[in-house]
Amino acid sequence: NAGVTQTPKFQVLKTGQSMTLQCAQDMNHEYMSWYRQDPGMGLRLIHYSVGAGITDQGEVPNGYNVSRSTTEDFPLRLLSAAPSQTSVYFCASSYSGVSTDTQYFGPGTRLTVL
């Protein structure tokens, strides 16, 4: 098992550009999520999905879109990047949720928006 994979590892964007952060898992997990990590703020939930075709907002969803067309993949889209979106982004997955299941995290994507 590769676990949770994320691409790219690093990315630099200019303000207004768009991009997609990729996340994939090979553990047949129903639940997937995206977090951003900023210094002194821990991890904050952006969006999550409880299965293919089902997504919902987390704590900081503005400026981000998600979709879940397959169980394996959960891409995060930035439609018009802003400097405030400079952060480290983590994707995570678990069997069915977060309350009792162990979440497995990817290695992260470090994004800089100039």
> Of 36, 53, 51, which Cα lies nearest the Cα of 95?
51
Binding mask 72-101 for another protein (x = CB under 8 A): ------------------x-x---xxxxx-
50 binds another protein (CB under 8 A): yes
Helix, strand or coil for residue 83?
A: helix
Query: Among 21, 24, 29, 31, which residue sits at the site for another protein (rule: CB under 8 A)?
Result: 31
Nearer to another protein, 15 or 112 (CB): 112
Query: What is the smallest separation between the CB atom of 15 and another protein, expressed in angstroms?
Result: 26
Query: What is the smallest separation between the CB atom of 90 and another protein, expressed in angstroms?
Result: 6
Tokens describing residue 21 = 């952060």
Determine if the peptide bond prior to 75 is cis (ω within 30°): no
For residue 104, with 0-12 CB atoms within 10 Å meaning exposed, 13-18 middle and 19 or more buried, which class applies? middle
27 binds another protein (CB under 8 A): no
